[in-house]
Amino acid sequence: MSSISLRRVAHAWRVQRRALCGTARYYGTGPSGLEARGEDTASLKTLKVHTLSRTYFSGIQPTGVPHLGNYLGALRNWVKLQREAAPHDTLYFSIVGWHALTLPQDRKVLLGAQTDMMALLLAIGLDPKRSIIFHQSQNPNHLELAWYLNCITPVGKLRRMTTWKGRLADSRNANDESEVDDSLLNTGLFTYPVLQAADILLYKATHVPVGEDQQQHIELCRDLAEIFNRQLEADNKTFRATFPLPAPVYTPSKRILSLRDPTSKMSKSSPIEQSRILLTDSPEEIKAKIRRAVTDSVQGITYDPVNRPGTSNLLTILAACENTEPEQVADLYSGKDHGHLKSDVIDAVVEMLRRPREEYERLIQARTYLTEVAQDGLWKAKLQSEQVMRTVRERLGMLATP
């Protein structure tokens, strides 16, 4: 598509979105987009309502079938945000293939995992008519912005990011993070938080629903947005903030632990399959994994994440399934044993994942539909990101693309 027709389509789409804004009222949890940008909302009464809109961005790596931790810590929240978002809010959910390459991948497995992930995102309830669902690796703007951000990222800040250690340790099945050092670290893995910042800023996201393991990265993203804005403003006072400072949105169950080693988080990249419950697991598989989950030999059930991480993890899972707090669940089980608790966790998880699993089995057969959804999402993502990139290139003094 030429840039002129791309611009026309972008304009048409913006007009359409504005028409949708109408009399919509802002609602939802956490700060609005403007609050997230640190702007004064008290004086906004005279502004049109759609200026309060939020933009959500989140991603998941196609490094395997999503697990219970992904679901409770992030994916389920995506669906909730989609349901509760105001009509003028925009939601982007991306399958971030370039991040997957920071660890070695098998080509065929990676290809299949990307399609599986699209089917799973739809199966849990993401609606392509409401949310923009796309493959990050099909939009080169992510890489271009990542490069610009790399050029302003202090290496010291990246060195303080510890997530690469966890990822390497999980993928190598190391006993703990002290067993991995930077002799195993490739540059992609070292700088992937910068790519993640680009993913978010490329859409001027104001809110990022993620699990707790991403906290450091969101902080880095905010720092980079600030550095970028400041540098450009110092250059030219008319350049108001290029990027908003995005806020993380966490769920109550922001960290679900491995069933085999409750000192580390449940992870797609761990080679131990028994450590995670997949969204595609059958009831029998779920039962077997939870029955064998590591707990402790203390009598009775209490919620004590520090001293009883395995038991507390089961309580967190049950509480999340029942939309309540782990402490409250613990009170109900105080006189019971682990066998009892595990039985109820099994029932709750099987029930919660029944529908996503059935939907996945139906959707994975509908290959043409999955391709259409991906193409449509990519088209919208490119339109929006191209506008942002035009401004960024112009402000940086890069030649505009023809």
Question: Which residues make up the interface to ligand ATP (CB under 6 A)?
Answer: 60-61, 63, 69-70, 73-74, 167, 170, 210-211, 213-214, 254-256, 265-269
In terms of CB distance, is 131 or 242 closer to ligand ATP?
A: 131
Residues 6 or more apart whose Cβ sits within 8 Å of residue 62: 95, 96, 97, 100, 110, 113, 114, 116, 117
Residues 6 or more apart whose Cβ sits within 8 Å of residue 31: 247
In terms of CB distance, is 248 or 386 closer to ligand ATP?
A: 248
As measured in angstroms, the least distance from the Cβ of 196 to ligand ATP is 10
In terms of CB distance, is 74 or 348 closer to ligand ATP?
A: 74
As measured in angstroms, the least distance from the Cβ of 70 to ligand ATP is 4
In terms of CB distance, is 44 or 101 closer to ligand ATP?
A: 101
As measured in angstroms, the least distance from the Cβ of 211 to ligand ATP is 2
Q: How far is residue 278's CA from residue 58's CA, in Å, rounded to a whole number?
A: 20
Q: How far is residue 312's CA from residue 326's CA, in Å, rounded to a whole number?
A: 8
In terms of CB distance, is 310 or 389 closer to ligand ATP?
A: 310
Q: How far is residue 212's CA from residue 200's CA, in Å, rounded to a whole number?
A: 17
Q: How far is residue 165's CA from residue 22's CA, in Å, rounded to a whole number?
A: 48
As measured in angstroms, the least distance from the Cβ of 36 to ligand ATP is 18
Residue nearest to ligand ATP (CB): 73
As measured in angstroms, the least distance from the Cβ of 195 to ligand ATP is 13
Rounded to 10°, the helix 163-172/187-201 angle is: 120
- Residues belonging to the chain: 402
As measured in angstroms, the least distance from the Cβ of 322 to ligand ATP is 17
- The answer to whether 105 and 233 are in contact (CB under 8 A) is no
In terms of CB distance, is 68 or 145 closer to ligand ATP?
A: 68
A 10 A CB-CB count for 359 gives: 17
